[in-house]
Structure 1
Amino acid sequence: MKISMTSVFVDDQRAALAFYTDVLGFEKRHDIPLGDDFWLTVVSPEAPDGPELLLEPSGHPAVKPYRDALMEDGIPLAQFAVRDLNSEHERLTGLGVEFTQPPTDIGTAHVAVFNDTCGNLIQLIEMK
């Protein structure tokens, strides 16, 4: 068994696609119309055949209270691995990304948390 796809709920799929590709550097994999929404996925350019991230519409009534609670408590919805957290933090900060937690040493790793502008906190992790 392996993970082939996971998702993040987003308020606006087109804005999310722009952020996840233009800012974070992911590549679009699927963009398939489904009524008013899309089957919209991105992948890491470092693993183009790896797991996909579904930019899922946040319209379900359970999503807002769930995401609001996570945001209020500062809990990231997803985690992305990076090779050099300090460089990635500097690059993203230069692109205007808002970090809610700067690079922090947690013992076995360094982590940082940012707002993805789509309703989620995302954690970056660099394992030691």
Structure 2
Amino acid sequence: DRAFEMAATHPDAMRGLAFLMAWPALREAAALAVDRAGEIRGGHDDLPLWVGRLVGRHPLAALILVRARARALLMLGPDVAGEVQALVSEAEAIWSTLGEDASATDHETFAAGLQSEARRRRVW
């Protein structure tokens, strides 16, 4: 329990998340992702694996990770536009499972913001 608490409050949210996912302490990892969503860096190599582990029982956490990955890849430019669009579709599918109780930004708002950023960066 102490290790999980230390991971959840680690100064680097991604290191804490990596520890919890490796344990695996999925409930605690999901809580960290939701509580510290603004600190999730989408460029982490293991994010797609973590999404797969979380999506069934912790879809909000999985959604946060997918969206972080999409935003991070968008910064890489047009070479990854197809992957970004696939992530947007994945985010939409996860969003649809959350129902109206979701505390995350709705999918349309997220997608519109991402498209606006893509146009600004001339990715799509």
Please give the TM-score of this superposition, normalised by the length of structure 1: 0.24
The answer to which structure has the higher helix fraction is 2
The answer to which structure has the higher strand fraction is 1
Higher relative contact order at CA 8 Å, sep ≥6: structure 1 or structure 2?
1
